[in-house]
Chains A and B, each alone.
Chain A
Amino acid sequence: MKTIRLAAVVLGAVLAASPAFAQKQQINGAGATFPYPIYSKWFSEYNKLHPDVEINYQSIGSGGGIRQLSNQTVFFGATDGPMTQEQILAAPGKVLHLPTVLGGVVPIYNIPGVDAELKFSGKVLADIILGKVAKWNDSAIAGLNPGVKLPGTDVTVAHRSDGSGTTYIFVDYLSKVSPDFKQKVGIATSVNWPVGVGGKGNEGVAGLVKQTPGAIGYVELIYALQNKLDYGSVQNIGGEFVRCTIDSVTAAAAVAATQMPKDFRVSITNAPGKGVYPISSFTWLLLLESPGDRAKARVMVDFVKWALTEGQKYAKDLGYAPLPANVVQLELEALKRIKI
């Protein structure tokens, strides 16, 4: 008993004596899993610059991030698909969408005897995912890939079983290029897939595709790069077949940036422009325009400014495409709306 009391006294003295403890600013956020690697990099780098600021981020998914921000259990949220009108109305105040980085989604496949990089058009990709093109030597695929000897293997579609921003970006694109897809499947983080098998996470989808002859799936660019997966190129709106790279994803944003809506809720899949990879998207941080805690808001705004400028240099190494300069300018302007 005595030792416990002694320990308590010592602990109390230590806590009282350390000034850092009293001033440390802790900010909690939650949301999308897709940007988690870069966000955690940013938080740790920012913490090195400002040891008194600690930002915690739970990658619980975009839906969870939006919900928790609306309930104000976290200070900021993060999402891969912009909030819907309904969600915005349900929020306790005006929500600011801030694009942080960009990502691309690539079609991966495993066709026995085919090593070539396949070319897909949006329409054909949609028909494959819908189950309408069921064999790899279908004339629709062969027509886009002259010179590639395609086998008559059955197509097996592998998709995400968990709700995911990756799915959102992929079906958003397919719905834009195929009215049929839009009507039968639609856009959301989880959808009612007409055919195929579901794998959990990027690794689940990649595993299914690697193991199943004739499989096609989709993963984020980072995942394909890190795991050295083969992926096909996709035809953009100008008719070019573009392979997904960090540059071709940034190119998609550059064009969209010239007509950026004020609230930054913009889909850049199937964007026009030369060299644009069509299955690209922003990922957003969500902040309330009038947060309760002014001190926290000041810190958060400072962090976001840093992330949008200095922080962008960490993007490429982690497989994300950095924001075009004009988007950053617009966002720095928009940050002034936050009451600090």
Chain B
Amino acid sequence: MTKPPSSPRSADDRLFRLGTGFFAFLVVLLVAAIGYELFNNSRLSIAKFGLAFWRTKTWDPVAGNFGALPFIWGTLYSSFLALLISTPIAIGIAIFLSELAPRAIRTPLAFLTELLAAIPSIVYGLWGIFVLVPIVRGLETHTPDWLKKFPLFSGPPLGVGMLSAGLILAIMVIPFTSSVAREVLRAVPPTQREAAYALGATRWEAIQAALRYGRKGIYGAIILGLGRAIGETMAVTMVIGNNPQVSASLFAPQYSMAAVIANEFTEAADDLYLSALVEIGLVLFVITLVINALSRLLIWSVSREVKVKERKAAPAPLPEEAA
């Protein structure tokens, strides 16, 4: 930290720093307040079920027995499935738009991908019910029997279920991941590609070099997509089948944390039930924090690794790297 030279302006500077610092701190405060409220309102359920809440599978509002495992499982399964489907597509879009597309189609195409992000999730949900689910059901009906023996493809062809949820989430996540990845690729200095070409690289190799250069940002783009997938509610609940069970099958109807809160909160009249639903919110909050922390760690370790390697290879870093 270098102190700014004291001058007549330093008072303004300090005020500016205090002001912006306050706003930044406000975010921290907000997160803490949300965490506290969630904890406070789920005390009844925490006291009654303890840690068992995280690993039991029964969700019975009539008997007052609540376990969150099927919902945790469903949220993680559907989100990572969505990530698995969306990442290659989104990065493909990003590469095409930033490196390969002719100028004439670049802007309209970028605009259209970003338009996907503006569609309300209820519309995705309805589209899911009326278009995607019948297609998925068709796929499931035509799945050969030998394939159905695997746990991943077992169960009757319902259409609604994990596969539909993963697909719809993937479609919703693509514009987020692709537009951030595109910006990252555009921010890669042209010298990187020029250097690659100068060394005799093909176009594909030059793009690889650009991707490697921007990988930190691209990981960030993927994590942004994951965050979107974990919290998505409406579209998921309309196609996932809403059956709280832990199943490995893509064809099985399952449930997610956000969906059960949205579905049951309004009618939850007794205190323990309400408290259990709030605790699901708390679990979702904790899981989101953990995933974000882990991804930060991943990005950090990647960038450190890059720096260490570069230091070994070339003692003097490139000007862009230092910046």
Contacts from A to B (Cβ < 8 Å)? 60-64, 66-67, 84, 86-87, 154, 156, 161-164, 185-193, 196-200, 204, 207-208, 211-212
Contacts and interface: CB of A to CB of B under 8 A. Distances in A.
A190 B267 contact: yes
Contact of B62 (A63, A87, A192, A212): A192
A188 B160 contact: no
B59 A192 contact: yes
Interface in B120-173: 129-130, 133-134, 137, 156, 158-161
A324 to B, nearest CB: 28
Interface in B58-74: 58-63
Interface string B39-79: 00000000000000000001111110000000000000000
Contacts of A190: 61, 263-264, 267-268
A52 B79 CA distance: 52
A60 B59 CA distance: 22
A189 B270 CA distance: 11
Query: Which of B58, B160, B255, B259 has the most A CB atoms < 10 Å from its CB?
Result: B160
Contact of B268 (A163, A200, A212): A163
B243 A198 contact: yes
Closest 9 CB pairs of A and B: A163-B267, A198-B242, A61-B266, A186-B62, A161-B242, A63-B269, A192-B60, A63-B267, A189-B267
A185 B266 contact: no
10 contacts: A61-B266, A62-B269, A63-B269, A163-B263, A163-B265, A189-B269, A192-B61, A196-B243, A198-B263, A204-B238
Contacts of B269: 62-63, 66-67, 84, 87, 189
Given A192-B59, A192-B60, A200 B263 contact: yes
A197 B137 contact: no
B253 interface: yes
Interface residues of B, number: 33
Contact residues of A: prevailing secondary structure:
loop
Most chain-A CB neighbours within 10 Å: which of B129, B130, B161, B269? B269
Given A162-B264, A211-B134, A204 B253 contact: no
B245 to A, nearest CB: 10
Contacts of B243: 193, 196-198
A212 B158 CA distance: 7
A60 B266 CA distance: 6
A60 B268 CA distance: 11
A190 B237 CA distance: 15
A313 B255 CA distance: 42
Contacts of A66: 269
A200 B160 CA distance: 12
B225 interface: no
Task: Give the residue among A64, A185, A190 with the most B Cβ atoms within 10 A.
Answer: A190
Contacts of B158: 156, 197, 212
Contacts of A67: 269
A197 B253 contact: yes
A87 B58 CA distance: 24
Contacts of A197: 158, 160-161, 241-243, 253
Contacts of B63: 186, 192
A163 B264 contact: yes
A188 B62 contact: yes
A64 B267 contact: yes
B266 A163 contact: yes
Contacts of A187: 62
